[in-house]
Amino acid sequence: MNMQDDLIICRCEEVTVEQIRTAIRQGAVTLAGIKRRTRAGMGLCQGRTCGALVTRILSVELSRPLDGFAPDAIRPPSVPVTFGVLAGDRK
């Protein structure tokens, strides 16, 4: 896989191939590690768009099979709520 360093992999957080490769060189060897170092997968799509591409980059850079990486936890984006909502006031 020959991707240019300036290619944006995570469109939500604008993370490039170069940033992902740098994170791998700094010790990130899982999707969660990449996420912590670059924010790839933390945007609105929660990695549904970029997760497969990040896994492919990890696979190539670490010379490991694609199925050797555990999927990352997908969580819905959080939104602020008022104390009234927490107290049961539905207004």
10: pLDDT strictly greater than 90: yes
Please, what are the domains in the chain? Answer: 8-86 (1.10.10.1100)
Q: Can you tell me which residue has the tokens 């060189």?
A: 25
- Beta strand pairing status for 15-16 and 8-10? antiparallel
Interval 12-26: pLDDT, tens: 999 999 999 999 999
Backbone conformation region of residue 27, classed left if phi is above 0, alpha if psi is from -120 to 50, else beta: left
Mean pLDDT score of the chain, rounded to an integer? Answer: 89
- Of 8, 5, 3, 72, the closest CA to residue 35 belongs to 72
Is residue 75 very low, low, confident or very high in pLDDT (cuts 50, 70, 90)?
low
The mean pLDDT of 59-78, rounded to a whole number, is 83
Q: Can you tell me which residue has the tokens 């492919």?
A: 56
What pLDDT is stored for residue 71 in this prediction? 78
